[in-house]
Structure 1
């Protein structure tokens, strides 16, 4: 291993150990004793809390750090959420995916049904939507609802479990109208139950040296991953496959295209492409609907500076389409684009115009077999040019003056960019 790679690995381990120590420290009340169990899902991430590493605003992420030795495990007991999607993902000390167990792979408990495989079960009460899963340190058998905890060859036993919930039926309930799973730690021969935390940890409430070390290490790892995903020579307004999503807590069920952007007063970005069909679960369409093309898609605008937060997203169900099924996004600061009369245009805010670099991500989740050949996933699997693979579904973007866009729409912007 080179000196640079060694330093990078050490930085990751330091950050993870510090992060884990912080999780254990702040989980215990001041008068805690050995009999006081830690709570599970101490960290929550969304667009307002721990907005890091390019999250999607229509998803919420809960994090359970762990340290597991040989033979240790974590047993989860949960309820299928009323939502578009949920999954369990594990990560190692490089913040890359170890394993993914998603909703339709999790067999239900006896007497329960899985609404992500059985459309008739989507309105069942919580008591009939129960499941169990186990995080194991050895090879995992998904048929037994097992998830692998640690990557092969990782020297430290530290990892993360993240549960994601996308587009809950009730927008006011990030967890999809059900409690987060209970966790039972089986570590070193001891059994330690961990109920979901009553409140997620507020990172602003902990300012000790461990927290500072964790923040510094975390920023270093995420910054390295983000710069590696889109090197400096990546052309602006051209959507490309990231060089890597390792280090950004990627979801194993998502793939992404991205493009870098910079702000100039009076200039906006216009993006156009064909929208894949999706199951609009908030409108009553089951996630299992076979007539759709992807489980979820979105276009998100993000700051390309630490901690790499999301600014805004246009999710599939929030995106206006024209009569041919095409979307048009205008990414603009309010001062540059005060209003848009065209009802087929979706406006995404630019956010802080002093941020030197932005990045747009197009996210596809779980394309169906029939749609897969035109998906981001197919482009990344083959290494082929995404514009060629995706055809009309490939997003084309141009810089454009706001006055040109208001006067003539996307076509006028194309002419302006070409001229």
Structure 2
């Protein structure tokens, strides 16, 4: 039995891709290789450089495989635990509504292996070289607590994202799907996410991508891993059809938690966001102040103990327009903190970047990005500890962030010169 986490999120991902390779299951009977040379697993990859849509975090890489599974088929995903801060699998309906999820610490390792995301399983580090797992995407199950199974059948209360109809005469882009298909097929997408690998050069965290096998009774068909992942026009089309309306930016940056109808396009159930909108004026910056939650600094070699307040947090600037690209993020381990554990973010264009002074020392600067549209400024908390009552998930959907106490981000606009001379205090924070 695994614990099911629920989160309603703002950053909507339809992402994913393919790099690295994984071998199929050894010793499997009746195993064949998919005949079509164009059929491969994890064919779509998303990140800021490859496919920048739906507000990805720059610390993460997303890989996607779509499927059309007959009722007696399922996908088997056999992989190794990554040396990274976080990983997960999430299934979605055909246009992005979340169905089921499996987070790294919920995955049971294969016999003789350990799960490095569980402190009790090993040495408490995420260096899991050789530790393997096997999970299933089930076409015959709704969201399930069965060990290492992810349901692909939408729950009874499933609500698909609100999207617009394609332009008349416009042909929708096709996508590669694994499985036999047919009238009774269960269609959807599974997204594999990896955050903050220890080695930035390998976004899979040294583990490669999970090997994918289509299982139908006693028949097993190994699907090769795609050699060259890339963008998906079908994914871009879905994101561009998402009927998202933005309000005018408030006169002062105030953070709220988005409501459910704003956040159901490819969300990650382990993330909960609070957000504000920023409007640009020349010579003006946005300053954000708050207390930072504790986290496991895995890139510095710290273990995941389970006592941290969150697994991961970040602040990101994004554009308030389709296809909802990210501009820049500051991950938790990149954020400067004062002696009391408080951060000061400065959101600024290159032209308005403050000079380094005694007053500005200790500020973390994030690129404003385009000044043609409003900025969506997102604060993420991922896998919040249930004992941490001031996390973003403590905020009711649609509400301001006062329930977060000192951890609530508080913002103000400020002239560059004022900040350079007096720091955040001179900006009224």
Coarse TM-score class (shorter-chain normalised): 0.7 to 0.9
Q: Which residue of 2 aligns with 1:350?
A: 368
Structure 1 counterpart of 2:409: 395
| C-alpha contact (below 8 Å) 1:376/1:386 kept by paired residues | no
| Residue 111 of structure 1 pairs with residue 140 of structure 2 | no
Instruction: Indicate the SS of the match to 1:144.
Output: coil
Instruction: Check conservation: 1:64, 1:162, Cα contact below 8 A.
Output: yes
Residue 385 of structure 1: how far off its partner (Å): 4.3
Please give the secondary structure, in 2, of the residue aligned with 1:180: coil
Q: CA deviation at 1:352?
A: 1.8
Distance 1:149 1:394 in 2: 36
Following superposition, the deviation at residue 359 of structure 1 comes to 0.5
Is the counterpart of residue 68 in structure 1 residue 69 in structure 2?
yes
User: How far is the alpha carbon of 1:187 from its aligned partner?
Assistant: 5.8
The aligned counterpart of 2:40 is: 39
Equivalent pair of 1:99/1:148 in contact (CA under 8 Å)? yes
Unaligned runs of 5+ in 2: 1-13, 19-32, 159-183
Q: Cα distance, 1:47 vs. partner?
A: 1.0
Cα offset, 1:259, TM superposition: 0.3
In the alignment, structure 1 residue 147 sits paired with structure 2 residue 150: yes
Partner of 1:335: 351
Question: 2:259–2:398: 8 Å Cα contact kept in structure 1?
Answer: no
- Of the candidates 111, 118, 133, which is equivalent to residue 135 of structure 2? 133
Higher relative contact order (CA 8 A, sep 6+): 2
SS in 2 for 1:255: strand
Shift of 1:231: 4.2
Task: Report how far residue 55 of structure 1 moved.
Answer: 0.6
CA distance 1:187–1:79, shift in 2 (3 Å): same
Matched with 1:263 is: 280
Deviation, structure 1 residue 190? 6.0
How many equivalent residue pairs?
368
> What's 2:256 paired with?
240
Gap change, CA 1:177 and 1:34, over 3 Å in 2: closer
Compared CA separation, residues 261 and 189, structure 1 to 2 (3 A): farther
Describe the SS at the equivalent of 1:377. Answer: helix
Tell me, what secondary structure is at the counterpart of 1:172? coil
Partners of 2:252 and 2:348 lie apart in 1 by 16
CA distance in structure 2 between the aligned counterparts of 1:394 and 1:214, rounded to whole angstroms: 33
Are 1:407 and 2:421 counterparts? yes
CA contact (8 A) 1:273 1:392 kept: yes
Note the C-alpha offset of 1:37: 6.9
Corresponding residue for 1:182?
211
Question: How many Å separate the matches in 2 of 1:304 and 1:125?
Answer: 39
Cα distance in 2 for partners of 1:157, 1:176 equals 31
- Residue 241 of structure 2 is matched in structure 1 by 220
Q: Please give the per-residue CA displacement for 1:72-128, whole angstroms capped at 9, x wherever unaligned.
A: 21000000000011000111134121111010000000011100113416376632x
Q: Distance in 1 between matches of 2:103 and 2:333?
A: 21
Q: CA shift at 1:339, angstroms?
A: 2.8
Taking a change above 3 Å as real, the CA distance of residues 295 and 100 of structure 1, as seen in their structure-2 partners, is same
Q: For the residues of structure 2 that align with 1:156 and 1:33, how far apart are their CA atoms?
A: 19
Structure 2 CA distance, aligned partners of 1:235 and 1:98? Answer: 37
Shift of the alpha carbon at 1:243?
A: 1.8
Kindly provide the CA deviation profile for residues 165-190 of structure 1, in whole angstroms up to 9, marking residues without a partner as x: 01101111111011100111236996
Superposed displacement of residue 142, structure 1? 3.5
Give yes or no for the alignment of 1:306 onto 2:327: no
More helix by share: 1
Contact 1:91 1:150 in 2 (8 A): no
Structure 1 residues 399-408 or 383-392, which shifts more? 383-392
Quote how far apart the aligned CAs of 1:33 are.
9.1
1:319-358 Cα distance to aligned partner (Å, 9 max, x none): 000111100000000111253333310000111222x211
C-alpha contact 2:54 2:239 (8 A) present in aligned 1: no
Runs (4+) off by over 6 Å: none
- 1:170 counterpart (199, 204, 220): 199
Pick which of 115-124 and 169-178 moved more: 115-124
TM-score between the two structures when normalised by the length of structure 1: 0.81
Inter-CA distance 157–231: structure 2 relative to 1 (3 Å threshold): farther
1:367 matches 2:384: yes
> Which of 318, 322, 333 matches 2:334?
318
Give the deviation of 1:375 after TM superposition: 1.2
Tell me the TM-score normalised to structure 2 length. 0.79
Q: 1:338 to 1:386 in 2, by over 3 A?
A: closer
Residue ranges of structure 1 left out of the alignment (5+ in a row): 1-15, 24-31, 204-210
Cα gap change, 1:156 to 1:255, in 2 (>3 Å): farther
Map Cα deviations across residues 30-86 of structure 1 (whole Å, 9 max, x no partner).
xx9945472111001111111110110001100111112323210000000000110
